Every structure is written in structure tokens, then in C-alpha cells.
Chains A and B, each alone.
Chain A
Amino acid sequence: MSIDLFTLFREEADANGIVFYYSGILSQNVIKTMSDSLKQKLQNQDAKGARSRKVFSTFIEMVQNALHYSPEAPGSDDTKQGSILVGQNQDKYFVICANFIQKQHESRIREKIDPILKMSADEIRQAYRTQLKNDQHSDDTISKGAGLGFLTLARDSVEPIEYVIRDAIGYENELSYFYLKATI
């Protein structure tokens, strides 16, 4: 990449209100370091604590989701990769995360998110509470979490969460790229 192109990349990020962007290896240590940095930035920018906390929570849910569920990045030695971005547009924040998924898991992810997209705020809250009390972690053997991740994101998002699944260029047969966005 030329310096000119990088200048454009950086200026475009500034113009779009990007306060934080990371792309690379994901590990819990990287997440902890990013968390410190993001917290500081949010503290400097936002006097109202409630929104900052929701932005931080959304960031953690997304990035841990990517860490837990993305397959090893192709050509890497047992490492996970992802891209995460936090930005501000007028009085709202947005968080977007992108990571590899296995093509075979695509329909499973759609089945988890699509119903949430159709829910009202009240229905999301109800579904969240039901899942919180649900002891059996259903029939889902792949999920390692609480089954609450997407509902937590949806609960804190002031607009419906959005997602897109695209072919992973060069790995179209086995991998896709999963993009997820929340607005706080």
C-alpha cells in the first residue's frame, strides 16, 4: 500500500468518526489490551457513563464471539483473526466486527440472529430473561457461551443489529466472512 492510499484510509476513518480500529490476531490478551485503550477513549469522549458501558459491553461480546467461534485463520498456526471497529456518528456509537466463519455454520448463525431481528425491544428483553433462566444449554453443542451474546447485543443496540455474511475471498469453498453491527 502506498503512503497516499494509507493517507486516504486514515482520513476516511477520521471522516467516518472512527475512534478505534483493530485488525489482526485475536486472543484474550489482545482483548484485554484493547479494552484498556477503548475504555480510556470512551472516558475522554463521553461524559455519560451509561452509554460508554453499553459500547464497552457490545465491544466485548462481539470480540469474544469472534475469538470463540471463528475457525483458525487460513495459513495461520492455530490463531484466530478478526477486525473490530468502534465509531461515533453524531450522538450514536457503532461497533462493527468481522471474522471468518465456517461455511457450514452459516445457516446456524442465520437461525440464531434472524428471529432476534424481528423482535421488538420488549420481546428482546423477554427472550433475554428466558435464556438467562434456561439451565439446559439447549441442543446446541457448538455454542460454548450462555446463548446470550446476540441477545445482549440486541438489548443494548438502539437500532436493530445488522449482519452480513460474505464469501471469504480465496477460500470460497470452506470459509465465509461474518460482519456484525450494533448501534448504541
Chain B
Amino acid sequence: MTDIYIPATSDTPEINFKFSNNTLSMSGEAYPENGVEFFRPILRQLQSHLKSLNGDSVEFNFKLTYFNSVSTKIFYSMFELLNEYAKNHPNCVLLNWHHDEEDDTILELGQDVQEDFTWIDFNAIVLA
């Protein structure tokens, strides 16, 4: 699987999915005009990559500072894929949840993610 690198724009995040070493990172802001269109190909590739793995450890770095409601929903689908993989391969998915100390919205979403995707190892990191 080829790595995905998409540089950030003002309304789309930087996507740095290094499938070659299973380190997947997203940072920046996400409020594209059509979130589904923007993220669908990325989700598809993530899905087929996870299918090709067999117990490899995957690290996901979530470093977004703002995302709209459509993007939030898409990230939930992304975590669902990771959770499914981790269900079959326990302790193989680590989600590093970076958030600003003051940002209670992203902090609370992190708590929801932690409760809803119990197979994923969740690691909250306060942005310095």
C-alpha cells in the first residue's frame, strides 16, 4: 500500500498516513466543503490496508485543532475501522489523542471515543 501524504490547506488537514510503518497522522483543521468526498478515498485505503495486516501495531496520531460536524462523523467511521482491527488483534492499535488543555470540545470527544471504541488503546496528550 502506497503511503498517503496530503498537505494541509486552510480547510483540510494534513494527512500523513505512512502505511509502510503503520504510523498514521492527521493535523490541522477540517471543514471542507464536502467532507465525505474529501475523506472517502482516505477511508477506503485505510480499510484495505488494515485488511492486509495481521497483528502489526498501528499508531494513529490525532492532532486536529478544529473539525466541523461532518468531519467528526467521518473520524468516527475511521475509529470504527481501527477498533475492528484491534478487536481481532488486541493491543495493536494506539490512538494518541492530542488536544489543547483549554479545548473542552476535543477533550470530551476524546472521552467519547475512548468509551465507544474499547479495543483501541487511548493515550491523551496535552499539546504544549
Contacts and interface: CB of A to CB of B under 8 A. Distances in A.
A129 B108 CA distance: 11
A147 B103 CA distance: 23
Contacts of B11: 28, 31-32, 35
B104 A50 contact: yes
A80 to B, nearest CB: 11
A148 B66 contact: no
B72 interface: yes
B40 interface: no
A50 B103 CA distance: 5
A37 B69 CA distance: 21
A145 B103 contact: no
Interface string A132-169: 11010000000011111101100010000000000000
Interface stretch (A4-12, A57-65, A87-95, A112-120): A57-65
B31 interface: yes
A68 to B, nearest CB: 8
A132 B76 contact: yes
A146 B73 contact: yes
Interface residues of B, number: 23
Contact of A64 (B68, B74, B104): B68
A151 B116 CA distance: 19
Nearest to B104: A50
B54 interface: no
Contact of A132 (B32, B68, B72): B72
B116 A156 contact: no
Contacts of A57: 66, 68, 105
A53 B103 contact: yes
Contacts of A152: 68-69, 72
B100 A49 contact: yes
A132 B73 contact: yes
Shortest beta-carbon contacts, A-B, top 8? A146-B73, A148-B69, A28-B33, A49-B102, A152-B69, A50-B102, A146-B70, A146-B69
Interface of B: 10-11, 31-34, 36, 66, 68-70, 72-74, 76-77, 100, 102-105, 112, 116
